[in-house]
Structure 1
Amino acid sequence: MQPFELTGPALRGMGETRPVPGEAALLRAGLHSRRLVLLKTLLTRAGRVPLSDDAARALRRDWRLLEEAESHAPAAAREALGYPAVGNWLAHALAAGEGAGFERALEGLGAVAAVVATGAARAFRLTLPVREGLLTLPGLGAYATAAPLLHIEATSHTLILTPEGGEPTTLPHPHRPAAPEALAVPPGGQGGGGGWLPVRALPGARALLDDQDPHLGRDAGGIAGLRPATVTADEAHAWRELWTRALRLLGAADPERAAEVTGRVRAVVPVWWKPSGRASATRLAAPWAVLTTLPESAEEMAEVLVHEVQHSKLAVLGDMVRLYHEGGEAVFRVGWRADPRPLGAVLQGTYAHLALADLWDRLARRAGAGTEERVAAKARREKYREQVDDALSLLLDSGQLTAEGTEFVEGMRRHHARLCAPARRGPAPSPTS
């Protein structure tokens, strides 16, 4: 999927890593287009393979509900379909083998349709199978039950979840489907039936602290060595506090970047790495989700958020415009990795590290920073700036960039040159200047 045409100036502007006018709307449109293409690809595949009668009926039912909800409230549908966990489910379903595995993966369409219809404030009734004791509604929460089926009924005021043979749980229905918080059932919203595990909202943003995505590889080694983690109420409090402090720091140093983070991050996904280790990642199939271990400081959290937002931006843009031609083996070496990397990974890493150089430059210059803080921030800026300097040469000399990719990297080079200016590399201004 690459139906979008971007001009050279637009690509150069986006290459600078800074938020630019119109970029957010463009990326939303690109992600939505991608999700629709993948949904239609899944439907086409389902029509070409033999399905059981039950699976075929469920597919037709779920697709009708999805179409009806999208027709009634397109903005709400776009919001729901853009949630990162939906991308993870699509990747899982499209990779599933034929037969029972594919039919089981198709069951996820029912949960997605329920979420879209809920966000669109549509009344519906749906019965969905429960696997391994849990049914997840992406971006809403999960219902834990030993029952094999969960009955979902949405009215104009409530969402009622009833396990087969059990008592109902009544939740407040989202009344503002176009608002970012529309899909987040607030903590404490469960009714007398128990079993409901709502996702937790993060303050001051549209993002959720999501530890309920069933398609992140808990039983398959995780993602790049990271394994999803379930957080307790006390741990969730620590995440919320660190998130708030990081946004406050970003707001003081770089209000535009703070607005970019609060406007684009949809989910923070807690993960485990090695003991006492810290790491973060982005799944290209699920942009706007930040997978991370719990950082130790507001500065580290701010760095993680900025770093992973760049990966998401480039993941969406790369589906819209071809930036490079695929090469053969991974032969490029960069300053932030010991192993050789393919060009696509070099481009992703360079883009993220350029944003980090920019971030630490602004942290060094923020009002109120002490002398030691400024010195440390400048050192971080220089480390990232030097890494980007070498990587930009690799990209521009690779011969694999398309014309659009060259424009994009030229924008990166232009911003990197600003960070190399003597005024930025000299002594930092005093706190009172």
Structure 2
Amino acid sequence: MLPAVPERAVDELGRTEGGPETLGLLVRDQHTRRLLLLRAVLDAAESAAPDVCPAPALTRLREDWALLEEAERLEAPGPAGHPPGPAGHPPGPEADAARGNRPPPSRVRALLLHPFTGPWAREALRLLGPETGPLPARDRREQARALAYFGALAAVAAARAGVPYAVRLTAHDGVLALPSLGALRTGGPGRRDPEVTVVHRHGRLTLRRPGEADVTVRLQNGPGAWSEAAAWTPAYTLPGLVPGSAPVPLDDLDPYRTARGGPRPDTLSGPAELDEAGRKHWLHTWSGTAAALTAGGAGRLTESAALLSCLVPLAAPPGSGPGGSCSGTRREAFGAVLSSAPATATGFAATLVHEIQHAKLAALGDMTTLHHASPAARHFAPWRPDPRPYDGLLQGAYSHLALADFFQRCALTAALPARRDAAWERHARYQAQVGAVLPALVGSGDLTVPGRRFVDRMVEVYERLAEQPPPRGHAARATGYVQAARTLWNRRHATGE
């Protein structure tokens, strides 16, 4: 059992902050959970009925686990590293959980901890679940896709560790994705996806398809892999946010980067595939993001550098005009932020502040229960037209409180009057929105002891921000906006709140 969350960590997070120790606690807990999910996938496959996980699929899964274990043995031998688990099992996360503190992960372990292994593992568990009969045809296809993805993951890990091998991998929808390296285009729509033989020797992958010329891919020290072949698209990364930090993948290739098939929020668009111009735009905006984050407080840069491990480009929202944008996080993909192309560095810095708070609060909620409120959607939130459950209200208020703090700091340090005025306008709007929902959060009898402590720290931040109010015009417009939103909401929902 993991230790209780220290009160100091709850206090820091409640203030929308987080020192290195607190942020490290969140990361370690999420990494442990991800490794346990990987173990659960193998256990589920081993215990599944043959009509759920056929013998050939189970055999292949065992072979992939064995290749993964060999990769970790080579990269982390002996007691100083991460010893592999029992035969047939992934490297032992239980020992990591017991230590509660571990050295930076090896390249193999880092690959296993990548955000998209979370949604992949959850989907694999669903497809290997406790069904008693054969899987429907659609689920059989999805299960084949999930198991093939793990084969590709194991192959990349082994190549990174220098293990020589020859394996057969299966493409899906005309693409063979090799996580963190890139993707091979194997055919057009309607064509049968071929098996690809992948041979690794001395940092070079040879990809062989029936009736096609071999594709040679050379590994690089960092993310991505290079090839002259037009069929190969290398993974793309952005420079680290701070000097010495790891590059940040801008992933438009991984098949698990967005949710597959399920409902998507109306405000969130689908995944985007970037061309050269799109990548250059992201790089240009990204180059100013660290400075923009620092303008809103040095802690905003620190938390983004500590928690952000991947960006997923999204298409522009449907029907949006110029400057329209959307962003989001996925609870099962801790470390990833999804966003449409940012217009400015300041705008993208605000997106990161917003989404990182969601990641922090979700991770804290995994470690401790903050409330026992009903999931019924009944609360007014001025940033949404629909009623929100208590948990959604808390998430929204928390991210908006961080934005109010961010833009107040930007306003207080801005040299140019136009930037100062724009920052005060955004601060006033977010501060008024948070003030409108704090009574519902504070007044709940469903808060636990850690939850009460967390919300009390939020109130302290709100009151601190109020000590340096925005210019009267901005405050009046923000108040009017919230009042109008409440009036419209009451007309639509008439809940009596």
C-alpha displacement of 1:238: 0.7
Structure-1 separation of matches of 2:158 and 2:462: 45
Equivalent position SS for 2:152: helix
Moved over 6 A (4+): none
C-alpha displacement of 1:102: 3.0
Partner in structure 1 of residue 152 of structure 2: 111
CA contact (8 A) 1:112 1:138 kept: yes
C-alpha displacement of 1:82: 2.3
Q: Which moves more between the two structures, 158-167 or 393-402?
A: 158-167
Q: Determine which structure has more spread, i.e. the larger CA radius of gyration.
A: 2
C-alpha displacement of 1:253: 4.2
CA contact (8 A) 1:32 1:81 kept: no
Given the two structures, how large is their TM-score scaled by the length of structure 1?
0.87
1:160 and 2:206 are equivalent in the alignment:
yes
Structure 1 residue identity aligned to 2:28: A
Partner in structure 2 of residue 336 of structure 1: 383
1:373 and 2:419 are equivalent in the alignment:
yes
Equivalent position SS for 1:290: strand
1:179-225, Cα deviation, whole Å (9 max, x unpaired): xxx3x116xx114x442211211123421111113132466565554
Match of 1:300 among 341, 347, 354: 347
Partner in structure 2 of residue 47 of structure 1: 46
1:13-412 alignment, distance < 5 Å:
13-49=12-48, 50=50, 51-71=53-73, 72-73=75-76, 74=82, 75-76=105-106, 77-96=108-127, 99=135, 100=140, 101-146=142-187, 148-175=194-221, 182=222, 184-185=223-224, 189-191=226-228, 193-205=229-241, 206-215=247-256, 216-217=258-259, 222=264, 224=266, 225-272=268-315, 273-276=317-320, 277-325=324-372, 327-366=374-413, 368-412=414-458
Cα gap change, 1:229/1:421 in structure 2, threshold over 3 Å: closer, same or farther? same
Cα gap change, 1:52/1:331 in structure 2, threshold over 3 Å: closer, same or farther? same
Partner in structure 1 of residue 5 of structure 2: 6
RMSD, matched Cα = 2.5
Given the two structures, how large is their TM-score scaled by the length of structure 2?
0.77
Structure-2 separation of matches of 1:300 and 1:358: 15
C-alpha displacement of 1:286: 0.9
What is the percent sequence identity of the aligned residues?
A: 35
Structure-2 separation of matches of 1:199 and 1:138: 8
Which structure has the higher relative contact order (CA within 8 Å, separation 6+)? 1
Structure 2 residue identity aligned to 1:195: A
Structure 2 residue identity aligned to 1:111: A
1:216-275, Cα deviation, whole Å (9 max, x unpaired): 246656555421111111111111111112223223443332233234322221212213
Partner in structure 2 of residue 413 of structure 1: 459
Cα gap change, 1:164/1:396 in structure 2, threshold over 3 Å: closer, same or farther? farther
Equivalent position SS for 2:116: helix
CA contact (8 A) 1:123 1:156 kept: yes
Aligned pairs, how many? 414
C-alpha displacement of 1:315: 2.2
Cα gap change, 1:425/1:173 in structure 2, threshold over 3 Å: closer, same or farther? same
Q: Which moves more between the two structures, 31-40 or 109-118?
A: 109-118
Q: Structure 2: where are the runs of 5+ without partners? A: 77-81, 83-104, 188-192, 242-246, 473-497
Equivalent position SS for 2:288: helix
CA contact (8 A) 1:11 1:407 kept: yes
Structure 2 residue identity aligned to 1:6: V
